[in-house]
Structure 1
Amino acid sequence: MEEVSLLVDATSRLSEPFLLVIVGEFNSGKSTVINALLGRKYLKDGVVPTTNEITLLCYSDNDSIEQERCERHPDGQFICYISAPMLKEMNLVDTPGTNVILQRQQRLTEEFVPRADLILFILSADRPLTESEVAFLQYVQQWKKKVVFVLNKMDIYRSNSELEEAISFVKENTKRLLNAEEVTLFPVSARSALEAKLSLPFPDRTNNEHVLINHPQWGSSKFQDFQNYLLSFMDASTANGKERIRLKMETPVGIADRVLSSCERFVKIELENAVGDLKSIDDLVGSVKEYGLKLEAESNGWKKQILSLIEKAKTRAVNLMESILQLSNLDLIFVYMFKGEKSSSAPATSSVQNEILGPALSDVQSLLGEYSRWLHSSNTEEAHRYLDNFHKKWDSLIEQREMVWSDPQALVRSDEELSVKVLENFNAGSASRVFEKEIREVALGTFGGLGAAGLSASLLTSVLSTTLEDLLALAFCSAGGFLVISNFPGRRKEANEKIEKVADALTQEVEQAMKKDLIQSTEKLAQFVKSISKPYRDAAQQKIKRLELIQAELANTERKIKNLKVDIKFPW
């Protein structure tokens, strides 16, 4: 960033006319003071169109009064070109009343006051320091401008003591308002001074101190001290002349200092906002983890429902196995024992497939499908929420072309739904054949080694109706047959455990697949959020870096301004 544009070279200001801005309450006598200084009624009805205008009085080298003119510039400002000698080195700014300035004349407060080399504050003796004048002084104070006070209409006081009391009142209050140790104040009667000058022929109204010295109105107006004070600013050999140079140089530096302070405050706020934006962006990206935990908690409900269906199917299959593998069901057991693996399934096996596994797997598959759709729907909704948050909060950070317009629905969809795949790879018919195989192995393992006597004794149990009769029949079995049959409960338990193991393996596989789907879904969302946040994050970081560079340059400029202030204060 270049140095503050208003920090112009102070020496270049020396060639410009001294800018004197005249302010005061309406009817305080500003125009009369100006006319008395210039020696003629330049400001009167018909010359300046309205008292609510700012008028700049500049020098014109035309000696003829007819050549003097006032004109409105395109920017709305009135400029009067006058041949008064005082204006060769000094421009005067005549202003409306301070109440009008504060309410409507933003241009004066933002343009002329900051550029003024000296502010001439006209107070009316009949009402010094009105509310609007105090408010305007408080505004001027922030620019640290030199203010000279003129207590006009002093002739209304009946005695010197009344005048001194008024002077003391004004000085005490203005010192407090301007936070100054001393203030410069001139009590005058501008009307008496103007009348004294108007009584002289036109050519003698300017450099006419020797002519006016004996004029009674001029002496009583006390205007001579005030006029000499202003004229001394034009003489570089006087203390006031040197002060004029210092004030002229201080004006751009003061403006730059004021603007610099505003820039520093603005940049500080902007930097704090940019750092806050970056933190908020990072926090929003990091909040995906919290969303993942919330999603995991909600997915537990789905998992309980799905695993409950598998558990119920396992329990029914084990119960069916238990009901088949009873010694009272030897006829059915021998059916399984003598059936070949390639023969058609027994009715009980069909029951496992059609009544237990088939419906259970269908319900589980349906729930897993709903679970996958729920995951995708939740992610899509969350992705839209993140996208809206970024667009609403930080669109001002980036250009329109940098915005992410990707479709969240497509980006957060999983490549494959693992939990659904698990059920697709699990075949109810194969599981039913495993069920049948386990029954056959129990039958063969239990009864395959029996002899004829043992087999006959065993067959007896198939026609006995009670457990006691079973035991009596077993008592007639051979010793070897009894030992073999005694293994029957253990083998039945093993068969049940195998069924449970298959079911538990499926449960574990479904549970792991659901967890992987959940993790994959959350990671997809995290990738999406990271992707859409990148241009915003990059823009915030670039803004922080840019503002930090500006801060460094402002600090460097501040050092230069401080050095200039020292040089201006002690120029020789």
Structure 2
Amino acid sequence: MLRRFLTSTEQELLHAEREQLLALRGPLASLDAAADDLAVLDRGLLQLDELFLLVIVGEFNAGKSAFINALLGHRFLTEGVTPTTTQINVLKYGGEASETQVEPELAVVTYPVEWLREINIVDTPGTNAIVRRHQQITEQFIPRADLVLFVTSVDRPFSESERLFLQRIREWGKKVVIVLNKIDILESPADVEKVIAFVETNGRELLGRKPIIFPISARAARQAKETIGADERTRLWAASRFEPLESYILRTLDERERLRLKLSNPLGIAQRLVERYLAVVEARKTLLRADVTTIGAIQVQLTAYEADLRRDFKYHLSHVDNVLLAMADRGNRFFDETIRLGRVFDLVNAERVRGLFEREVVADTSTRVEAHTHELIDWLVERDFAQWRAVMDYLNKRLALHEDRIIGQVGGQFQLNRQTLLQSVGRAAREIVASYDKEAEARALAESVQIAVAQTAIVEVGAIGLGALLVKLLAATMADVSGVLAAGALAALGFYLIPNKRRRAKNELQARLAELRSRLSQALTAQFETELGSSLQRIREAMSPYTQFVEAQQGTLERTEAALRESQRAMKELASLIGDL
């Protein structure tokens, strides 16, 4: 399109359309648009600078070559009952007839026909071409067409291949003119009208609007143009009914109408791409909403998991506490029975008192505390393992639920990244579940608890276990209490000292056991908080890439949708201005 022939208004429209097509590439690229779609958009940009492009399509036996020869006024192209056009031919103006092979299946052919200075013709193989590649190339030219002339034959109107091809043309919103060829083989005008009615009905159904139909005899039209005798030429020309079609192409489609079509076609392509990728955006948003639900559901699981663990931990911790409280109760009874006048001689024997205290008060306290502590540890390890398994099962169901539905619907790098990240979370969960060594986890946790208890009690751990450590702590308690009993034992002969001695022993035992309960509670609680935090953090870290991807894609899709909506609005306004030319 030569800009020097355009008015200022037309120049502005051309510039605005070019800007819209260029701006559309960004949003499409962000959606990982198909390479073919981007190529179509790029060709639309190039099309704005090309001459008006008239694309001729139809089955090989519909008489396309005969029609083009009639239009050119000379038998330039070979005609026949078998496929004669085996490649795409782009017909342009040239001082003499020539042919240049541009690609193996694409040639540029020049003819000295004046109106080819303003209009280029694309002659295509049949829609039913034997070589599939021919049809693929033909379909590549359709988006570039400013006007499509669909040539069909009265003896075979709207064959199956023609119907499929017209549906494809309709997808691109191209203006289609139907050329009904070979009317000379019908016996009467009434037969011609019947075929026209049939083509009109089917054309309306396929194209969504009443089609423009030109019934012709291309053979009679060419013969008329080549005939010298005026009478015969007039007869053939009238019989061909070619005049209305030729007038439409060369005169009705004047410069302004061709400009309108030239500007409308790339814009129509762009508008359809916008509609297509708005649907992609919506499909991805729907998928991401499901992903947000997945992430939210796992977060709810983790919140419930944390709350359940904290509640159940108190229950398990109370078992340890109850063992020491029971020891305190036994100690009170022991002192009531031991520190009295009737047992004064027993009190003088410190070793005997210590032995009684160890057997009756301390008893199996350390063993029971250790057992309950290990129960707590096993419970915590089992819950951690169960939570990983729950996450894994949920993600597996999530993948299975949506995998078939999403493949091919949203596609591209988005789907690849999303599936990879979602699968990586599931894989991390599976690997942890598969390699989860409960015994090793329990041993490690028990060692951590042991170290924590020792640190709070300022006791050297060495190689001893938790039970031996508790024995040490209880032995220290026993020594302190028995020391109270032994110190000044002879003075206990005084009646007034016995109640005081008993009270001091009880208080000392309660204080030591309260301190031990506090140390154990602090150590176990601190270790529980560490393990709970670590368990939650591992799951969240495994989820993090997927979560970040979903959040980032939500933002990207919102921006892309806004850009596409703005393009849609601007293109609609531009189409209205072009229609007013």
| TM-score where L is the length of structure 2 | 0.68
Q: 1:42 maps to what in 2?
A: 77
135, 140, 144: which one aligns with 2:173: 144
2:71 is equivalent to residue 71 of structure 1: no
Distance 1:553 1:106, change over 3 A: farther
- State the distance in 1 between where 2:294 and 2:566 align: 31
2:453 is equivalent to residue 422 of structure 1: yes
SS in 2 for 1:214: helix
- State the distance in 1 between where 2:305 and 2:46 align: 64
Aligned partner letter, 1:189: S
2:145 is equivalent to residue 131 of structure 1: no
2:527 is equivalent to residue 517 of structure 1: yes
Map 1:213-224 onto structure 2 (within 5 A).
Answer: 214=233, 216-224=235-243
Q: 1:27 maps to what in 2?
A: 61
More deviation, 164-173/435-444: 435-444
2:498 is equivalent to residue 449 of structure 1: no
Q: 2:197 maps to what in 1?
A: 168
Distance 1:9 1:71, change over 3 A: closer
Distance 1:33 1:324, change over 3 A: same
- State the distance in 1 between where 2:187 and 2:511 align: 119
Contact 2:54/2:119 (CA < 8 Å) preserved in 1?
Answer: yes
The Cα shift of 1:9 comes to 12
2:479 is equivalent to residue 433 of structure 1: yes
- State the distance in 2 between where 1:357 and 1:110 align: 93
- State the distance in 2 between where 1:358 and 1:109 align: 96
The Cα shift of 1:437 comes to 4.5
- State the distance in 2 between where 1:104 and 1:278 align: 45
The Cα shift of 1:116 comes to 0.9
- State the distance in 1 between where 2:542 and 2:44 align: 50
Q: 2:23 maps to what in 1?
A: 3
Distance 1:80 1:47, change over 3 A: farther
The Cα shift of 1:232 comes to 1.9
Distance 1:110 1:95, change over 3 A: closer
349, 355, 358: which one aligns with 1:350: 355
- State the distance in 1 between where 2:92 and 2:335 align: 119
Distance 1:286 1:520, change over 3 A: farther
346, 353, 356: which one aligns with 1:335: 346
Contact 1:233/1:244 (CA < 8 Å) preserved in 2?
Answer: no
The Cα shift of 1:231 comes to 2.0
SS in 2 for 1:58: strand
The Cα shift of 1:159 comes to 2.0
Q: 1:465 maps to what in 2?
A: none
Contact 2:90/2:123 (CA < 8 Å) preserved in 1?
Answer: yes
Map 1:355-504 onto structure 2 (within 5 A).
Answer: 357=362, 360-362=365-367, 364-365=369-370, 368=373, 371=376, 375=380, 396=417, 417=448, 421-422=452-453, 425=457, 427-437=473-483, 447-449=493-495, 499=509, 503=513
The Cα shift of 1:565 comes to 1.1
Q: 1:190 maps to what in 2?
A: 218
The Cα shift of 1:120 comes to 1.0
Contact 2:88/2:125 (CA < 8 Å) preserved in 1?
Answer: no
The Cα shift of 1:436 comes to 2.5
The Cα shift of 1:199 comes to 5.5
2:131 is equivalent to residue 98 of structure 1: no
- State the distance in 2 between where 1:106 and 1:319 align: 102
> Alpha-carbon deviations, 1:134-182, whole Å to 9, x = none?
33333322322211111122233222222212212221332233222x4
In structure 1, stretches of 5+ residues that fail to align are 201-209, 237-241, 340-344, 451-483
2:69 is equivalent to residue 55 of structure 1: no
Q: Greater CA radius of gyration, 1 or 2? A: 1
Q: 1:177 maps to what in 2?
A: 206
2:564 is equivalent to residue 554 of structure 1: yes
Distance 1:255 1:317, change over 3 A: same
Distance 1:110 1:319, change over 3 A: farther
> Alpha-carbon deviations, 1:285-334, whole Å to 9, x = none?
5643233234446646754664565466567666766765687xx4x542
Specify which structure has the higher proportion of helix. 2
The Cα shift of 1:504 comes to 6.0
SS in 1 for 2:61: coil
Distance 1:95 1:326, change over 3 A: farther
- State the distance in 2 between where 1:296 and 1:442 align: 48
The Cα shift of 1:196 comes to 4.4
Contact 1:196/1:212 (CA < 8 Å) preserved in 2?
Answer: no
SS in 2 for 1:3: helix
Aligned partner letter, 2:452: K
In structure 2, stretches of 5+ residues that fail to align are 1-19, 26-39, 400-413, 437-443, 458-469
Distance 1:97 1:438, change over 3 A: farther
Distance 1:69 1:55, change over 3 A: same
> Alpha-carbon deviations, 1:242-294, whole Å to 9, x = none?
32221111111112212222233333444555566566556545643233234
SS in 2 for 1:59: strand
Distance 1:161 1:298, change over 3 A: same
Q: 1:289 maps to what in 2?
A: 303
More deviation, 370-379/346-355: 370-379
- State the distance in 2 between where 1:444 and 1:273 align: 86
220, 244, 255: which one aligns with 2:258: 244
Identity of aligned residues (%): 28
- State the distance in 2 between where 1:270 and 1:506 align: 59
